[in-house]
Chain A
Amino acid sequence: MVESQSLGGALLVALGAAPGACLRWWLVRQWSPAWAGRHRQHQLPGNAGAPWATMAVNGMASGALGVLAGVLAPHPQGEAWLWLGVGFAGSLSTFSTLMVDVTLLLRTGHRQEALGLTGASVVAGYGLLALGLALGEALTP
């Protein structure tokens, strides 16, 4: 159990948040080209392919958080949760980028794409989280 407002707790969150955010940024750049062609073909706004790459990273982070939450269920507020859960998985995933991407699609009249991106994000995120949670709980004695 970490003291809730201790310097140690802040350090753990920071040590998770920095690599989490950097990995997200790097993965989005790596994976964007996979969706960029389709993005340009439909003349969608924003960085080509990035919204779908963000969806993939969000799904990955949700799966990781699910495993962690399952494994750490006996002691949910410990140091590992602060570092890997709040810090790393929390920063690896992002919500604001998805919301801005969806509003950009909606404002430029791409309703189907907006719905598709939202639906795919939620389905992938929820599915991987539930899978991770079940896996984590099964791994815990």
Chain B
Amino acid sequence: MTTEVQRVLWVAAGAVPGGLLRWQAAILLGPDLPPGGSDLLVNGLGSLLLGWLVTRPSRQDLQLLLGAGFCGSLTTFSSWMLVTARLQRQGFVMGLLWLALGLAVGLAMAWLGQRLGQGLGQGQRPS
């Protein structure tokens, strides 16, 4: 049996590398990308990984470490909203386009992750 404290530690252990990777992506790739570009990238990557993860039957501690911890912290919703709000000040359509782009990338990657996890060509319904 995993205790409550152990669960929290699994989440924290995944959250630290997830957050650091998102930060490093912003530092290393940010200057070459438009504002929010590195967040879009890590959000897509995290959605792909979590999509794959939810199709895998695995131990609860691994789900906490990789799912709630790593993927949860690697991806961010609040920064996406912040960039949207800043773009909105430049023009209403810009903000909407940014929202739509984030959604399209995220949904496509989450869907792809689930397909990969179930094996391509198998049934449509999630297990």
Give the complex CA separation of A99 and B114 in angstroms: 11
Bound Cα distance from A96 to B69, whole angstroms? 11
Are A96 and B124 CB-contacts (below 8 A) given A5-B27, A65-B78, A118-B103? no
- B125 engages A98 (CB within 8 Å): no
Question: Is A130 engaged at the interface, CB distance under 8 Å to the other chain?
Answer: yes
Tell me the smallest distance from the CB of A11 to a CB of chain B, in Å.
10
Do A96 and B125 touch (CB < 8 A)? no
Could you tell me if A126 and B51 are in contact, using CB atoms closer than 8 angstroms?
no
Q: Does B94 interact with chain A (Cβ within 8 Å)? A: no
Q: Which A residues fall within an 8 A CB radius of B?
A: 4-5, 9-10, 13-14, 16-22, 24-26, 45, 58, 61-62, 64-66, 69, 82, 86-87, 89-100, 102-104, 106-108, 118, 121-122, 125-126, 129-130, 133
Complex CA distance for A45 and B114, rounded to whole angstroms:
14
How close is A125's CB to chain B, nearest CB, in angstroms?
A: 4
Which residues of chain B have C-beta atoms less than 8 A from A25's C-beta? 7-8, 11, 64, 68-69, 72
Q: 27 A–B contact pairs at CB < 8 A?
A: A10-B20, A10-B23, A13-B19, A17-B15, A20-B15, A21-B18, A25-B11, A25-B64, A64-B78, A66-B82, A90-B19, A90-B76, A91-B73, A95-B77, A96-B43, A96-B110, A99-B106, A100-B51, A100-B114, A103-B110, A103-B114, A104-B126, A121-B77, A125-B78, A125-B80, A126-B85, A129-B78
**A96 near B49 (CB under 8 angstroms)?**
yes
In contact, B110 and A14 (Cβ under 8 angstroms): no
Partner of B125, one of A108, A125, A126: A108
Whether B54 is near chain A, meaning CB under 8 Å from some CB there, is yes
Of residues A61, A65, A94, A99, which shows the largest number of chain B Cβ atoms within 10 Å of its Cβ?
A99
B residues lining the A interface (CB < 8 Å): 7-8, 11-12, 14-16, 18-20, 22-24, 26-27, 43, 46-47, 49-51, 54, 64, 67-69, 71-82, 84-85, 99, 102-103, 106-107, 109-111, 113-114, 124-126
Interface of A is mostly: helix
Known A86-B22, A96-B49, A108-B125: A18·B74 in contact at CB below 8 Å: no
**B14 nearest CB across to chain A (Å):** 7
